[in-house]
Amino acid sequence: MSRDARPRGRRRVLEVALDDLPEDRRPAARLSEAELHARVLYKDAWVIVVDKPAGLPVHAGPTSPEHLERYLQALAMGYAGPPQLAHRLDRDTSGCLALARHRRALRRLGRLFEGGQVRKTYWAVVAGVPPEARGTIALPIRKLSEPRGWRMVVDDAGRTAVTGWRLVATDGERSWLELTPRTGRTHQLRIHCAAMGWPILGDGFYAEGAARDGPLLLHARSLTLPLYTDQPAVHAEAPAPTPLAVVLEALAGAGRSSGVRRTSSTERKADQR
């Protein structure tokens, strides 16, 4: 594992202030090349894993003129061309994001993601408390387009979507979950948690009432890529951003004092549609 050194020469400033976002969903108003490099969690000749800040989209969109792709050249770091996105994270999700440094790497990473060989772990804080200590959500989902926009919905006719989950700690009202998606559908973790009755806090799409308030408490904690046949898998971990870290610390204390119940893994399929 390696971290990039401080860049040499003129300091370039990358503007990432997003005027269309509420203040608590914006990344830092100015992200310099040095700050971007400081977010590199892992780098080798094939792949870079960065800690994407919450509030920064990875792609351009109607309400996101500033996006990560616009600044990938700053992560070339000795290569002729910029790295390319190997997958994506939602705008308001922070954490581990893999970038391919050349076309061969992009093809190989694409096969790994499509084949379900990449292990992704997320941390989330949800409203409510799951009835068990761990389980699996197997609910097909599909995209529903409406005049006001689109969203994902649970539908038997949708695409297969499977999410493993583990209860880490709870204070009786909020819960810290470790989520491991086994498929990679759009908004999968958010719609799965909401469908089970434990919406992710700060989710303006799928939560209701007060649970919608504040920043989205969903973080791509780690990424494990079996990229090489003769070397250990690439593994990177991203620290929780401050808004999430504060809540996790409080829940960890509550979990230790109340004793989080542990049981054997169960398969749980929700009945609600």
* Residues annotated catalytic, as ranges: 90
Alpha-carbon torsion (29, 33, 34, 36), positive or negative: positive
Cβ–Cβ < 8 Å for 44, 79: no
Non-local CB neighbours of 122 within 8 Å, separated by 6+ positions? 93, 95, 178, 179, 180, 181, 189, 218, 219, 220, 221
CB atoms closer than 10 angstroms to residue 197 = 14
Cβ–Cβ < 8 Å for 171, 257: no
Strands 218-225 and 94-100: parallel
Q: DSSP class of residue 7? A: P
